[in-house]
């Protein structure tokens, strides 16, 4: 019989089938918490410190005090991988406000809940990487920076879920959200890039997009490869008429987009800059200097 995955919850490990939290946890009741998605490649946890740092920035924004240090959190993640004997894994690190009552007052939550799940994930593999995915602009606008901004990687992803539902109904792979001013913001769980006149462009985080760790690394790789890479506002017109478009994200990695709202992007095939960045990123995630070994 195959051994069940072990899930970390508040200092103890539980088999997947027994890993539970209280129905009074504010993460469940109100989406009151934050998370990180992290990848391990061949025993190397890619950019683990950077993910943990972003987690603490998110909790600082929502005034949630994590009861362990960043160094301790790193060790919790590594130990969860060891417990499950996983070398290649998708890790979900979750911190909720904790157990409270049915009111929304966070003062009623006396202790945060910490959860670490180490499993596998398969997004946009195989043919999607080779041929590209289809996407659409959603009617769902990204929450602005003075609201539940996606700069905070919170547990409230209803904004993204609504856009994903629309993509599912429309028969495309992914949705792209605009900001409140109509500029391109990001995908439902990915950052987005375009290539225009040989330059790599991506929307700035002040649109409400998540400051992506993968996106930041792709920007560095683009510059290292000799391409100009810049953050600036992008219009839907520029998106449709780009030479290349691609998503980036921890789970997605680097994925070409071949069609948006039935408009074929250039030749309809992954472009040379996208393919170059896919190759360079695949090398980067296995560089021992880019993460922490299990």
169/213 same-domain check: yes
Based on the domain organization, do 96 and 134 belong to the same domain?
A: no
Pair (113, 189) in one structural domain = no
Residues 155 and 81 in one domain: no
Q: Do 70 and 169 sit in the same domain of this protein?
A: no
Tracing tokens 């605009």 back to the chain, one arrives at 178
Global confidence as pTM: 0.95
* Domain assignment of residue 187, given as a range: 127-284
Tell me the pLDDT tens digit for each residue of 271-291: 999 999 999 999 999 999 999
Task: Give the C-alpha separation, 164 to 142, whole Å.
Answer: 13
Query: What rounded mean pLDDT belongs to the chain?
Result: 96
Pair of tokens at residue 250:
């921890």
Specify whether 155 is located in the same domain as 238: yes
Residues carrying an active site annotation:
153
What tokens appear for 9 in the block?
Answer: 């919850």
**At a CB cut-off of 8 Å and minimum separation 6, what does 159 contact?**
140, 142, 143, 148, 150, 177
Q: Is residue 1 part of a domain?
A: no
Position 125 pLDDT exceeds 70: no
H and E: helices and strands count for the chain: 8, 16
Reported as a single tens digit per residue, the pLDDT across 164-218 is 999 999 999 999 999 999 999 999 999 999 999 999 999 998 888 999 999 999 9
Point out the domain boundary residue: 62, 94, 119: 119
> How many structural domains does the chain have?
2
pLDDT in tens, 68-102: 999 999 999 999 999 999 999 999 999 999 999 99
pLDDT at 122: 75
Helix (H) or strand (E) holding 248: strand 244-249
């Amino acid at each position: 019989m195959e051994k069940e995955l072990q899930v970390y919850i508040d200092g103890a490990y539980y088999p997947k089938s027994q890993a539970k939290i209280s129905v009074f946890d504010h993460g469940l009741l109100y989406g009151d918490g934050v998370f990180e998605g992290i990848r391990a490649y061949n025993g190397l946890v890619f950019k683990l410190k950077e993910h943990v740092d972003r987690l603490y920035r998110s909790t600082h924004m929502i005034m949630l005090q994590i009861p362990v240090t960043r160094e301790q959190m790193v060790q919790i993640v590594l130990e969860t991988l060891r417990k499950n004997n996983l070398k290649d894994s998708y890790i979900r690190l979750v911190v909720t406000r904790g157990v409270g009552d049915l009111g929304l007052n966070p003062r009623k939550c006396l202790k945060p809940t910490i959860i670490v799940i180490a499993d596998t994930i398969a997004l946009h593999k195989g043919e999607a990487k080779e041929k590209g995915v289809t996407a659409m602009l959603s009617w769902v606008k990204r929450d602005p920076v003075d609201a539940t901004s996606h700069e905070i990687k919170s547990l409230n992803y209803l904004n993204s879920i609504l856009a994903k539902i629309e993509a599912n109904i429309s028969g495309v792979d992914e949705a792209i959200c605009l900001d409140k001013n109509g500029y391109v913001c990001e995908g439902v769980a990915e950052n987005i890039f375009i290539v225009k006149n040989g330059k790599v462009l991506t929307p700035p985080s002040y649109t409400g997009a998540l400051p992506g760790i993968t996106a930041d690394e792709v920007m560095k790789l683009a510059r290292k490869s000799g391409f100009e890479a810049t953050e600036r506002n992008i219009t839907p017109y520029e998106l449709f008429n780009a030479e290349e478009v691609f998503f980036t994200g921890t789970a997605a990695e680097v994925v070409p987009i071949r069609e948006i709202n039935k408009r074929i992007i250039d030749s309809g095939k992954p472009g040379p800059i996208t393919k170059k960045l896919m190759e360079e990123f695949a090398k980067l995630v296995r560089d021992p200097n880019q993460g922490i070994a299990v």
